[in-house]
Structure 1
Amino acid sequence: MTKRAVHTVEAGSIDLGGRSLPVTVRVDRRAKRLIMRVDPSGRVRITCPHKRDIGAALAMAENRRDWIGSRLDEMPPPLPFMPGVRIPVLGRDRLIIHCPKQVTPKLEDNTLVIGGPAGKDPTASIIRLLKREVQAVCRSRAEMKATMIGVEIGRVRVRDMKSRWGSCSSKGDLTFNWRLAHAPTAVLNYVVAHEVAHRRHMDHSSAFWNLVDLMCPEYRDHECWLRDEGRILFRYGAEPVETASFEIA
């Protein structure tokens, strides 16, 4: 999928029971409708097709206060990266433990070992580790699946993506959301298959889904998991991003 030209505006805030929630409007010419998302930190994010829709976007947020409140109530609380916390990493629950002699974080059997001074926030270094691990796994699986369907892939990158699990550029470069580190391995496998299939079909036609089915026969289950449970992946570690959506045709 090609990169979109977007423009983001800090459009003000709305009041929700005495709590001020900032509103960010993202102008994306490829958007077909107004789309509102809420992140667990309380930021309202709205995507609209044109600058002239910004006023309608703000009205949307004002008119949907009850929905915004219910979304925030449904979201799981953040789970910080700190010793004693257990988090899923690449299909295995890992207990975060602190070892003063450890220079950089590392994964062991059922643990994630961090070092440095006690009390220092390890979030940034853990995210760097998870990005490296996810990149290695995604590259290995992408190469295998590309061979399966007879296509070539370019670079494989991992980023903090705000609203997608993965993408495929017209040049064949694949990008994946680092938060897939916390997803079930079968779900990560599906996302890889999805993006590799775009090397043959840059759309979501029946031919595209037939390729996905060839590489990942249970893809429908994993797609449903991402839709219904994906927001839990944003509770771990870093500042959460938008994880719930509301669309108006």
Structure 2
Amino acid sequence: MKAHQNPLEPKVYIVGAGPGDPDLLTLKAQKLLAAADVILFADSLIPEQLLQFCREDAEIMPTADKTLEEILPLMIERVRSQQKSLVRLQSGDPSLYSATHEQMQLLAEAEIPFEVIPGISAFQAAAAKLNIELTVPGVVQTIILTRISGRTEVPEKEELASLAAHQASLCLYLSARHVEKAQAKLLEHYPPETPVAICFRIGWPDEKIRLVSLEQMAECTQQENLMRTTLYIISPALSAAKGRSRLYDPEYSRLFRQ
């Protein structure tokens, strides 16, 4: 059988896998998976269906049971010593809650070349499932992506209640285990009837989406036993409120339409 000719450079590709649906992988991510020699994937956060795009002879290593101190030497060995291309497959988008910051720092210190490929984040996939726009003219024009303090502390200046004061479209990650505390902080500024979308494992076969009022947020989470991989969208955009962009208004003059 003819040996595989790998067109990729020997380096680490940090690839955003999206929220879970294989169809939401970017074309670039698919191309990298199809060509890479080695795939390191966070198996507790990424469904195995995404591996369908990998080469049959690729080395595939799950990393849920490994520490960064165990993962980094694997990267260095495969790229520097074996001159192989390596995809580090991360859930969602690498720029959000993906623990890629420390990986990139250590790779740079070790002089291992790397490239970051963005992916679709859960808040984008959830908005699409809900058929909503999170920035509705005259209703809300700001999106806040945040989390509540838990095992990883949030800086005091980013405390949830202070962010809730903006009453923006607030996308709350990694907070299901502290949902009662989060609800109390949000209720300091959002009305109790503010709509909340509770989104569990968006893009996975067993995804769940529940629409409730803010005052029901904790109760619903606990009743559904949603402790991991849950995103909350708290937003006036989820209501029936209507708004219209000026961009396509017939009375609005712009460069391409006088």
TM-score by length of 1: 0.28
Structure having the higher Rg: 2
Structure with greater helix percent: 1
Structure with greater strand percent: 1
